[in-house]
Amino acid sequence: GAGVSQTPSNKVTEKGKYVELRCDPISGHTALYWYRQSLGQGPEFLIYFQGTGAADDSGLPNDRFFAVRPEGSVSTLKIQRTERGDSAVYLCASSPTTNNEQFFGPGTRLTVL
């Protein structure tokens, strides 16, 4: 079946602009996670949803970052006033419940010029 999909695969933007990154989880998965992977590093947790609500947003670096999952399926990560330091690969993962394996998408590579 279809895995986790993320769009766009690449996004280039200018400093100060607003961006939205989309994640389509595996159908039926109730838990959804966002991670950020900087060059040469492992993924770092940003936020996790159980259903429609953000159960843990402790990894969001500051208030420029926000994520939603209004219908408990697709999620959007929103970054305001982008900075060059936001350049990274943003990974989305989903799992059937919180105690199951997390399945990762291919990521969105964000470049802020």
Residues 53-82 touching another protein, rule: CB under 8 A, are: 55-56, 59
Distance CA 76, CA 98 (A): 19
What is the smallest separation between the CB atom of 104 and another protein, expressed in angstroms? 4
- Cβ-based neighbours of 57, under 8 Å, separated by 6 or more: 46, 47, 48, 67
Contacting another protein (CB under 8 A), which of 44, 64, 68, 76?
A: 44
The answer to whether 64 and 15 have CB atoms below 8 angstroms apart is no
Residue 6 beta carbon to another protein: minimum distance, rounded to whole angstroms: 9
Task: Compute the least distance from the CB of residue 93 to another protein, in Å.
Answer: 8
Q: Are 109 and 9 in contact (CB under 8 A)?
A: yes
Residues that bind another protein (CB under 8 A): 3-4, 31, 33, 35, 40-45, 48, 55-56, 59, 91, 93, 98, 101-102, 104-107
